[in-house]
Amino acid sequence: MSASALRRARITNQRESGILVPTGKVKFFDADRGFGFIASDDGGEVFLHASAMPPDTPAPKPGTRLEFGVADGRRGLQALSVRVLDAAPSVARAHRRPAEDMGPIVEDLIKLLDRAGNKLRAGRYPDKSEATKVAQMLRVVADEFDA
């Protein structure tokens, strides 16, 4: 899609300032190489360089919605002044246990930690099987919470 075609294309988003800007989703982004492509909502592909991203923004994941300015570069359209609209949904978050299921798990963990705390106050470490169970439960809860 050429720059003139993009200008004629239907623009799908409007900034508060009243300036119409194109939007799209990240098709892919290679963080090591510092570039990727955006699938514009208007049907074209736009080159995305890491320098166009806002400072201190992590590399965008496929599916991240962006708003961007466009310039005609050496090899086609290139995104400028990118703004992240919606980050791509987390796969881990989509597959984590429902909150209602985590309640009993956290309560069991509290009981295990309470028993371990009592043993530590008495000057003894928990036995190997109990320590292993506590460590496993902590990992499960941490993974679910961190998703």
Look up residue 62 and give its two tokens. 């496929």
What is the pLDDT averaged over residues 124-129? 95
Q: Is the pLDDT of residue 122 over 90?
A: yes
CA distance 129 to 38: 51
Mean pLDDT for the chain? 83
Q: Is the pLDDT of residue 1 over 80?
A: no
What is the pLDDT averaged over residues 34-54? 93
Q: What is the pLDDT of residue 111?
A: 95
What is the pLDDT averaged over residues 51-80? 89
Q: What is the pLDDT of residue 14?
A: 43
What is the pLDDT averaged over residues 32-41? 94
Lowest mean pLDDT among 2-11, 56-65, 108-117, 132-141: 2-11
- The percent of residues in the chain predicted with pLDDT above 70, rounded, is 80
Model confidence band, residue 144 (pLDDT cutoffs 50, 70, 90)? confident
DSSP class per residue in 33-61: TTEEEEEETTS-EEEEEGGGSPTTPPPPP
CA distance 110 to 113: 5
Model confidence band, residue 88 (pLDDT cutoffs 50, 70, 90)? low
